[in-house]
Amino acid sequence: MIRIRRAHVLAAALAVALCVPAAGISSGNGLPTSIGKGEGQLNLVAWEGYTQPQWVTPFTKATGCKVNAKYAGSSDEMVTLMRQGGGSQYDMVSASGDASLRLIYGKDVQPINVNLIPDYKNFIPALKSPPHNTIKGVHYGLSLQWGPNTLLYNTQKVKPAPTSWSVIYSKKYKGKVTVPDNPIQIADAALYLSKTKTSLGITDPYELDQTQFNAAIALLKAQKPLIKKYWGLASDEIDLFKNGDAVVGAAWPYQTNTLIAAKVPVKDLIPKEGATGWADTWMLSSHAKHPNCAYMWMKWVSTPKVQAEQALFFGETPANTKACAVMNKLSPGSAAQYHCGASAAYFNSIKFWKTPIADCGNGKKDCMDYTQWQQAWTQLKG
């Protein structure tokens, strides 16, 4: 008897599992044309600070989609999480530019219909079809926020106030420096070298030939004895600054905001050499189990209010130009501070994260690809 009942339950569950996506999203040319009923759940891989109760709780209340978020410390980890277990464990990922193409070409994410997102038309032009999430006019995700990687320092311990990245490569703060534990950090070294050692001829910090790459690695090797710790999660760096173990380091504005809220005397800046940065995209897994909730989430996080809230919480710039006014209302002057609705010139001055590949456009395919970046980083950390 028990066995029969169990079989019934299984059959019913299977039927529901098969029917729900079909019933929810009506498709034409593979893309959904409307958003169906929510599945009650949404599993996200996100950067720390991207799923705050401030905007997640009202979302759950409005849609009934319970949000489960897993924080990842690097783009590599995000890619791995989206691929583990057949790729159906998580519905969406807040991928940066150095992960998004890997996910698209690895067929881990699926195209989305941006017409279902009313706020899409209000995005800054540069983020409507950026090359890191749109291939041949097909949108593989919705742009979210962007911003620069900053130089963070303790205002009482670091004097005079730094203006250059040289402060994290100089012996003055030996044993008090912290940088991200992430191969993409090689680009930060390359960016610094592109301004300080012009003879190397670095034009793009993600497109490095062997000589340029070796120079960046040599700089990072010399930096290693100065490092207190390579931080994995943002909270690690926050601890280091709070407890006085680090006084200067490479950071995201999120750390600065959290530390200032905890009354730690810190400041951040974009040094004169410029900065690397990120432009994040919410991407939908090819095997997403909760696509309707995912579309509702994209709709929700692109609204001016949530865009502004997230921008202020994390310290980044919203993709939606309508969010600028809301930002100023929540925190006067913040829209200008974060370059909300920025000009193309400012946007292009930031070297956004992208996956290094062998083919860097000169037809010679002699650039170092990301596998080599990863290996070099592991060797460096030793």
Partner 1 sequence: MAASLDPAEGLTARPGRPLRAARLRLSGFFWRHRWAKGLLLLAPPLLAFGLVYLSSLVALFISAFWTVNPFTTDIEHIWNLGNFRTLIDSSAYRTIALRTIGIASAVTLTDAVLAFPFAYFMARVASARGRTFLFVAVLLPLWSSYLVRVYIWRLILDQDGVLNWMLNKLGLPDQHLAYTNYAVWLIFSYVWLPFMILPVYGALERIPHSFIEASRDLGAGGFATFRRVVLPLALPGVIAGSIFTFSLTLGDYVTPLLAGGASSQFIGNVVYSSVGISNDVPFAAAFATVPLLVMALYLTIARRLGAFEAM
Task: By CB under 8 A, name the binding residues for partner 1.
Answer: 74, 76-77, 79-80, 83-84, 102, 105-106, 175, 224-225, 227-230, 232, 239-240, 243-245, 369-371, 374, 378-382
Q: Is 281 helix (H, G, I), strand (E, B) or coil?
A: strand
In the complex with partner 1, the residue whose CB is nearer, 69 or 240, is 240
C-beta of 75: minimal distance to partner 1 in Å? 10
314 Cβ contact partners less than 8 Å away, ≥ 6 residues apart: 47, 49, 50, 145, 147, 252, 253, 254, 257
Maximum CA extent, the chain: 80
Rounded CA gap, 222 and 168, in Å?
11
C-beta of 206: minimal distance to partner 1 in Å? 16
In the complex with partner 1, the residue whose CB is nearer, 26 or 80, is 80
C-beta of 302: minimal distance to partner 1 in Å? 29
Residue 183 identity (one-letter amino acid)? P
Tell me the C-alpha to C-alpha distance, in Å, between residue 269 and each of 154, 266, 282.
Answer: 12, 10, 27
In the complex with partner 1, the residue whose CB is nearer, 290 or 354, is 354
C-beta of 261: minimal distance to partner 1 in Å? 18
> Contact, 210 vs 365, CB < 8 A?
no
As to burial, measured by CB atoms within 10 angstroms (0-12 exposed, 13-18 middle, 19+ buried), residue 185 is buried
DSSP letter for each residue of 114-135: GGG-GGGGGB-GGGTS-TTTEE
C-beta of 228: minimal distance to partner 1 in Å? 5
In the complex with partner 1, the residue whose CB is nearer, 244 or 332, is 244
In the complex with partner 1, the residue whose CB is nearer, 20 or 233, is 233
C-beta of 382: minimal distance to partner 1 in Å? 4
C-beta of 117: minimal distance to partner 1 in Å? 29
In the complex with partner 1, the residue whose CB is nearer, 181 or 273, is 181
Torsions phi, psi for 268 (to 5 deg): -130, 165
How many residues are present in the chain?
Answer: 382
In the complex with partner 1, the residue whose CB is nearer, 230 or 252, is 230
Based on its alpha-carbon atoms, the radius of gyration of the chain, rounded to whole angstroms, reads 22
